[in-house]
Amino acid sequence: MKKVAHAFALSALLAAPALAQEVKIGFVTTLSGPAGYFGQDARDAFNLAIEHGGGTLGGAKINLLVEDDAVKPGQGKQIADRFLKGEGVKLFTGIIFSNVAAAIVPDILEGGGTYVSLNAAPSELAGKECHRNYFVMSWQNDSLHESAGANATRLGYKRAFLIAPNYQAGKDAIAGFKRFFKGEIAGEVYTVLNATDYAAEIARIRASNADMVFHFIPGGAGIAFARQYAASGIKLPQVVSGASGDAVIVKAVGEPFLGTAVSAQWSSDLDNPVNKKFVEDFQKKYGRMPTQWAAQAYDTALGIASALKANGGKFDQAAFRTALNKADFQLTRGPFKFAANQHPIQDWYAMNVVKDAGGNFVLKLDQKILTNHTDVYGKDCKM
C-alpha cells in the first residue's frame, strides 16, 4: 500500500512541471573540437541567466535542450529536425558557426520556429533572406571585423597586413576590416582552412612594409598562429576582433599577445549593474572569466526573458516577435536596439591585452570606438 502511495506521489511530482507553463528552447551549439569552448561558455551563461530568473526566463519555466553540432552542418540539421518535429520545440538559439547557421536556420524558420541568434549571423540572413522570426542579439558577422578596422584607423596605423582562411567567413572578415580601415593594405593572405603551419605566411608579414597585422583565424588554429607569430620575433602590433582575441585565447597565448588591440561589443569591465552581476556570478559559479561568447548568450537569454515576460510567461510566436522587437531590456553590454532587419544597433569598444595584478593576461577596456553601429546588409531586407 505504502509503495502505491509513493508511486502516486512520484508521478504527481513528475507531472507537476508539465502542468505549469513550460517553454522548450532548442539549444544547438558547438561543444566539441578546438572551438568547443565557445558553446560551453554560451551554454553555461544561458543557464546562469535561467538561474538568475529563479529557474525561469520572464516567468516561463524553461526546459533547455542542449545538443552538440560538432561544427557539422549535417549533424546540426538532424538535431534541429528532431527538436522541431519530435520535441515540438518552437524557440531556438545556440548556434556558434555561420556555416551551421546557414544550413539549419532556414529549416527552423520554414518549420514555423523562431530563432534568436547568440552568435553566428551570416550576411544573407541580414539582407535578402531576412525573416520576421529571425533575431540576432550578437552582431552581424561583418561588424566584428569592421570594429577592428575602425580601431586600427583610430590607432593611427597606415599599412595593414591582413590574414584569414580561404573560405567565405575569411573573405567576409577581410572585406569587413577594409570597409572601416582608412589606411592602405600592405598585404593580404588567404591560408588553407585549418592549416597548422603558418611559417610561409609569417615570413611574408616580415617582408612586408606593414605597420600592423590583422588576423582572423578562428578556433584552435588561431592559437597556433598566434604562438608561431610570437616565435617568429616579428614585433608588429596586432589589431584583431574579439573573435581572435577572447579571454581564452588571450590566456592561452599569454605574454606575446601583450598590447594587442582587440575590439568587441562587450567587455568584462563595462560599468553597468547587469554586467557587474553577470561577471561576478559567472566567475563564482564556473570558476573562470566569462568570454564575450558567454556575455552574448546571457544577453540573448535576457532578451528572450523580456519577450516572454511581456506575454505573461507564455510563448506565442507573433506576440513574442512584437515584444522582443521593443528591446525592453538591460543587457551586459549597455544600450541596444533592433534595426529593421532585427539585427543589433549597438556600440563597440576597444580593449587592450594587459597583465593584471595577479599576473594573468586579461582584456582591459580602453574606450568606445563605434556608436549605434549597425550592418550594411539591412537595406536589402524586405520583410
Partner 1 sequence: MSLVIEQILNGIQLGVALFLLAAGLTLIFGIMGVINLAHGSLYMTGAFAMAWATSKTGSFWLGVPYGLAAAAIAGILVELLVVRRLYARDHLEQVLATYGLILFFNQMATIIFGRQPLLLAPPDALSGFVTILPGIQYPVYRFAIIVAGLVVALGLYLLIARTRIGMLVRAGATHREMVRALGVDIRLLYTFVFGLGALLAGFAGVMAGPLYGVTAGMGEQILILTFVVVVIGGVGSIRGAFYGALLVGIVDTMLRAFMPGLLRTFMAGQEADALGGGIGSMGVYFLMALVLALKPKGLFPAHG
Site for partner 1 contains 127 (CB under 8 A): no
Min CB(222)–partner 1 separation in Å: 11
Name the phi and psi angles at 203, rounded to 5.
-65, -35
**Per the structure block, which three cell numbers stand in for 372?**
549605434
Residue closer to partner 1 by CB (options 180, 320) is 180
Cβ at position 247, least distance to partner 1 in Å: 15
Residue positions counted in the chain: 383
Exactly one of 223, 310, 345, 362 binds partner 1 (CB under 8 A); that residue is 223
Cα angle value 238/240/243 (rounded, 5°): 145
Q: Does 231 bind partner 1 (CB under 8 A)?
A: yes
Q: Which of residues 281-310 bind partner 1 (CB under 8 A)?
A: none
Please say which residue, 208 or 374, places its beta carbon nearer to partner 1: 208
- Contact indicator for 141, 169 with CB cutoff of 8 Å: yes
21, 99, 168, 228: which one contacts partner 1 (CB under 8 A)? Answer: 228
Rounded least distance, CB 87 to partner 1, Å: 26
Residue 360 engages partner 1 in binding (rule: CB under 8 A): no
* Nearest residue (CB) to partner 1, 50 versus 247: 247
Residues 6+ apart with CB under 8 A from 295: 45, 266, 268, 275, 278, 332, 333
CA angle 160–190–230, rounded 5-degree value: 60
> Closer CB to partner 1, residue 202 or residue 274?
202
Which range binds partner 1 by CB under 8 A, 150-158, 225-233, 258-266, 308-316? 225-233
Judged by beta carbon, residue 63 or residue 232, the one nearer partner 1 is 232
Binding of partner 1 at residue 233 (CB under 8 A)? yes
Cβ at position 145, least distance to partner 1 in Å: 15
- How many residues bind partner 1 (CB under 8 A)? The answer is 32
Cα 186 to Cα 208: distance, rounded to the nearest angstrom: 7
State which residue, 315 or 361, has the beta carbon closest to partner 1: 361
Residue owning grid cell 582591459: 364
Q: Minimum distance from CB of 134 to partner 1 (Å)? A: 30
Among 128, 171, 182, 368, binds partner 1 (CB under 8 A): 171
Q: Select from 47-55, 134-142, 229-237, 337-345 the region that touches partner 1 (CB under 8 A).
A: 229-237
Contacts with partner 1 in 36-55 (CB under 8 A)?
36-37
HEC string of the chain equals CHHHHHHHHHHHHHHHHHHCCEEEEEEEECCCCCCHHHHHHHHHHHHHHHHHCCCEECCEEEEEEEEECCCCHHHHHHHHHHHHHHCCCCEEECCCCHHHHHHHHHHHHHCCCEEEECCCCCHHHHCCCCCCCEEECCCCHHHHHHHHHHHHHHCCCCEEEEEEECCHHHHHHHHHHHHHCCCEEEEEEEECCCCCCCHHHHHHHHHCCCCEEEECCCCHHHHHHHHHHHHCCCCCCEEEEHHHCCHHHHHHHCHHHCCCEEEECCCCCCCCHHHHHHHHHHHHHHCCCCCHHHHHHHHHHHHHHHHHHHCCCCCCHHHHHHHHHCCCCCECCECEEECCCCCEEEEEEEEEEEECCCCCEEEEEEEEEEEEECCCCHHHCCC
Q: How far is the CB of 294 from partner 1 (least distance, A)?
A: 17
Binding mask 181-220 for partner 1 (x = CB under 8 A): ----x--xxxxx-x-xx-xxx-xx-xx------------x
Nearer of residues 37 and 46 to partner 1, judged by Cβ: 37
* 33 forms part of the interface with partner 1 (CB under 8 A): yes
Give the nearest distance from C-beta 246 to partner 1 in angstroms.
14
* Contact letters for partner 1, residues 147-166 (x by CB under 8 A): -------------------x
Map the footprint of partner 1 across residues 234-253, applying CB under 8 A.
252
Q: How far is the CB of 256 from partner 1 (least distance, A)?
A: 11
Binding residues for partner 1, rule: CB under 8 A, are: 32-34, 36-37, 166, 171, 185, 188-192, 194, 196-197, 199-201, 203-204, 206-207, 220, 223-224, 227-228, 231-233, 252
